[in-house]
């Protein structure tokens, strides 16, 4: 649970969304206000309440958007106004995150607060390359060190003490000053042949490592500005990555893909793409808005005893159907006479969560294919009563065609897909570069994307992007808005769409 008027100082982990804590994920979903910085993976914010207020206060390489005192004031003012406030930081808030300063300011204000530790990059990022920061017989200690000072240079450190340590040195925020760090360590007596690595964007699909001898990292060795955000790891454990690096580049490595599915559908597709190494940016163009009580819904659900079939085309349709029945205190055992038809694997799985298996599921996710195969395999529907549960768009897809076959088809609109309004920083983040692909899995997603593009004047950017569509109807919607469909799989399935992307990436 989250409390109004309370401030939560939380760490979001090193980058990968899977490395945030359970408590952090819960707070993201429930907070009224989220104050976040540049090192927070935007994908973590995908699970936030769309109605939440997002305040970006990011700082990177000395470029400051807000002074620390201003950030403190934002936290306190929002909490005093009665909002639950989540201060979200990359890594752990107490490891070079200035979380201690914010805690002191909040404490002085008299407001209630909670500290939520996070997975710090200094340990987790090397681990993603098979580098243990401590290892028996190799490194018995690890030092976490800041590689950057507020005066835009290397902080004043006891270089002799650091050079004499037999453990591992991990420098945060030091990629731009790497040559100065190595020079100071060598001058202080560290062996120039000591292994060193710079790891950039660790734990993300775009992570990369540069490793060499300590003395190799001269000013001309690399363009260090391109390696931020990154870590410097120095010590004999660095060589472990040569044999034990376990994260291998996937078939979509280096590809940046935008997924436009709704919040409750995008995670499975995003996880699959990330599993193949893609950098995924989830941009749902719509959210599910349940339809309020209506006589039409009440009448249809009270008439289930005389209904033969119920058709579901989406997860939301399944979940809201059974939610309505629960609210009406309907005993699910009274539904034993019903037969269910589902479209799509995830819709079938959603139905299974309520203890029911579908009596019909088409092999392909195409409306025309569903109608044809449904009628062919179940000719009795021509004289039966059918209930279609779904969004306001579903009616146009099924009802008329089923009625034309002789069925008595009734439509129950349980929800609508409405456009999502994004905060300006999220839009800027999205179009800061051109992705390799934008994926569309429904015509409604296309319509809402087109609306988003128009509202934010993104047409020029959108026309530079390659569009991938799951099937003919979605492709037609894209063409209607003047976009070229660069990829459409032969089968209208998520798995086929992913396979087609992988094949296209080989060209």
**Of 146, 135, 87, 142, nearest in space to 111 by CA:** 87
**Of 449, 428, 427, 447, nearest in space to 438 by CA:** 449
DSSP string computed for 115-137: EE----HHHHHHHTTT--SSBTT
Return the biggest CA–CA distance within the chain.
Answer: 89
Looking at residue 175, the DSSP 8-state letter turns out to be S
Q: What's the CA dihedral at 280, 286, 292, 295 to 10 degrees?
A: -110
- The tokens for 113 are 């607060």
How far is the C-alpha of 3 from the C-alpha of 354, rounded, in Å? 32
Q: Is-catalytic flag, 59?
A: yes
Catalytic residue among 37, 46, 92, 436: 37
Looking at residue 364, the DSSP 8-state letter turns out to be S
- The tokens for 352 are 């299974």
Kindly state the helix (H) or strand (E) to which residue 417 belongs, with its residue range.
strand 408-419
Radius of gyration of the chain (CA): 27
CA distances from 218 to 72, 175, 176, 181 (A): 39, 12, 11, 10
87 and 93 Cβ atoms separated by less than 8 Å: yes
**Of 207, 204, 284, 292, nearest in space to 448 by CA:** 284
90 and 121 Cβ atoms separated by less than 8 Å: yes
Q: Is-catalytic flag, 187?
A: no
Catalytic residue among 6, 47, 59, 308: 59
Residues known to be catalytic? 37, 59
């Amino acid at each position: 649970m989250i409390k109004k008027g309370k401030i939560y100082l939380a760490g979001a982990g090193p980058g990968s969304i899977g490395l945030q804590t359970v408590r952090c994920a819960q707070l993201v979903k429930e907070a009224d206000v989220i104050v976040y910085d540049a090192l927070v993976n935007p994908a973590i914010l995908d699970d936030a309440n769309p109605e939440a207020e997002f305040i970006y206060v990011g700082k990177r390489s000395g470029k400051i958007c807000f002074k620390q005192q201003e950030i403190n004031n934002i936290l306190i003012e929002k909490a005093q106004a009665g909002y639950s406030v989540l201060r979200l930081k990359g890594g752990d808030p107490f490891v070079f995150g200035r979380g201690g300063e914010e805690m002191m300011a909040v404490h002085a204000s008299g407001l209630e607060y909670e500290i939520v530790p996070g997975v710090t990059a200094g340990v987790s990022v090397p681990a993603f390359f098979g580098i243990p920061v401590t290892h028996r017989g190799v490194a018995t200690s690890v030092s976490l060190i800041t590689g950057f000072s507020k005066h835009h240079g290397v902080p004043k450190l006891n270089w002799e003490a650091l050079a004499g340590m037999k453990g591992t040195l991990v420098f945060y925020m030091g990629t731009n000053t790497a040559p100065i760090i190595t020079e100071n360590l060598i001058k202080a007596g560290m062996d120039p042949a000591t292994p060193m690595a710079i790891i950039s964007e660790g734990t993300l699909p775009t992570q990369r490592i540069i490793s060499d001898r300590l003395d190799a990292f001269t000013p001309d060795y690399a363009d260090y500005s391109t390696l931020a955000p990154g870590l410097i790891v120095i010590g004999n454990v660095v060589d472990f990555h040569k044999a034990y690096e376990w994260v291998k580049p996937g078939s979509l490595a280096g590809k940046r893909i935008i997924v436009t599915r709704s919040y409750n559908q995008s995670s499975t597709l995003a996880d699959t793409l990330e599993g193949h190494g893609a950098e995924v940016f989830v941009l749902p163009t719509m959210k599910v808005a349940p339809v309020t009580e209506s006589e039409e819904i009440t009448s249809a659900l009270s008439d289930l005893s005389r209904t033969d079939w119920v058709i579901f085309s989406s997860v939301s349709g399944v979940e809201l159907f059974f939610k309505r029945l629960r609210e009406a205190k309907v005993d699910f055992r009274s539904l034993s006479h019903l037969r269910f038809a589902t479209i799509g694997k995830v819709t079938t799985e959603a139905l299974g969560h309520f203890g029911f298996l579908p009596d019909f599921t088409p092999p392909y996710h195409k409306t025309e294919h569903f109608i044809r195969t449904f009628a062919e395999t179940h000719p009795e529907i021509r004289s039966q009563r059918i209930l279609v549960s779904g969004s306001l768009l579903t009616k146009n897809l099924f009802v008329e065609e089923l009625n034309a076959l002789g069925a008595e088809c009734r439509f129950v609109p349980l929800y609508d897909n409405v456009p999502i309004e994004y905060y300006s920083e999220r839009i800027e983040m999205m179009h800061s570069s051109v992705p390799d692909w934008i994926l569309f899995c429904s015509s409604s997603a296309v319509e809402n994307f087109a609306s988003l593009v128009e509202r934010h004047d993104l047409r020029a950017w959108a026309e530079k992007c390659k569009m991938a569509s799951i099937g003919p109807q979605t492709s037609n919607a894209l063409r209607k808005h003047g976009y070229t469909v660069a990829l459409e799989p032969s089968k209208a399935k998520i798995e086929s769409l992913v396979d087609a992307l992988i094949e296209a990436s080989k060209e």
